Amino acid sequence: MHRLILSLLATIGLLTSCNLYPGSDARTDTLDMVSTLYDDQIDFKSMQTYALYDDVVPIVEDGSTPNFTITAEIKNTILSSIEANLAAYGWQKVDTTDNPDLIFGSGITVTVNTNIYQSFPIYGWGYPYYGYTVSSYPVGNLIIVALDHKDRDTVTNVAPTVWFGLIQGPLTGGVSDPMGRLDRDISQAFEQSTYLNLNP
């Protein structure tokens, strides 16, 4: 009887003591987030062609220099992934001079996420106070936009954005295949944008 009771208590204690929160063993790339936004008034299926701006620009404040480097490998991975996903959706790539329906462009910026944890009250000499733990880490942000070239203002040459993709992920820890991670996330952006699929 005592053995059964102890077993029950041990089971309860074991199950309820399990730490279910993502801890330090969570892989960096599992924290990636892919967001997409589009103009639902646009009929993408009436379009066919796109042009792709052949550079990935660093996005920084006016006048400042970026504190990160976009290597040729990163640039090639991003551009080829965008191309491959659009080709799979039936889009035809043309030059900007061929009056495409859409123009795709991409850019990267790095931000810093700061977490502030308030701990339980600390009782020492004098009035109790709350302790705080502050941690921060860099986050990479890849932005992909699609501009409606045929709806541009012919005077200012400004075209409206009809599709926007944002890929965010922490730039900490060792990722075994960073280019594969980029490609997967870009593919996810198109996978959740089925309205871009021109195939019947």
Partner 1 sequence: MKNLILISAFVASLSLKSFGQGNEFIVTWNFGIPTAPLSDIVSKTSLQGWAFEYRRAMTKTLSVGGSVGLNVFHQEHDKYTWHFDDFAITAHDWRFAHVVPLTVNAHFNPLRNMQTPWQVFAGAGMGATYVNEEIWAGIYSFRQEMWGFHFYPEVGVRYVMSNQTALLLSTQFMTVLSGHYTGENLHYWNVRLGFSFGTHRSE
Residues that bind partner 1 (CB under 8 A): 1, 4-5, 8-9, 11-12, 15-16, 18, 20-22, 30-40, 113, 120, 139, 168-170, 188, 192-193
101: exposed, middle or buried (Cβ count in 10 Å: 0-12, 13-18, 19+): buried
CA-to-CA distance for 170 and 23, rounded, in angstroms?
14
- Nearer residue to partner 1 within complex by CB, 3 or 65: 3
**Residue 36 is inside which H or E element, if any?**
strand 33-38
- Nearer residue to partner 1 within complex by CB, 15 or 155: 15
Least distance to partner 1, CB of residue 137, Å: 9
CA-to-CA distance for 77 and 157, rounded, in angstroms?
29
50: exposed, middle or buried (Cβ count in 10 Å: 0-12, 13-18, 19+): buried
- Nearer residue to partner 1 within complex by CB, 96 or 136: 136
CA atoms in the 13 A half-sphere facing the CB of 86: 23
- Nearer residue to partner 1 within complex by CB, 49 or 168: 168
CA-to-CA distance for 79 and 89, rounded, in angstroms?
16
Least distance to partner 1, CB of residue 76, Å: 24
- Nearer residue to partner 1 within complex by CB, 48 or 168: 168
Least distance to partner 1, CB of residue 3, Å: 12
Least distance to partner 1, CB of residue 87, Å: 21
Least distance to partner 1, CB of residue 89, Å: 16
Least distance to partner 1, CB of residue 78, Å: 18
Scanning the structure block, which residue is given the tokens 């990722």? 175
- Nearer residue to partner 1 within complex by CB, 49 or 187: 187
CA-to-CA distance for 15 and 21, rounded, in angstroms?
14
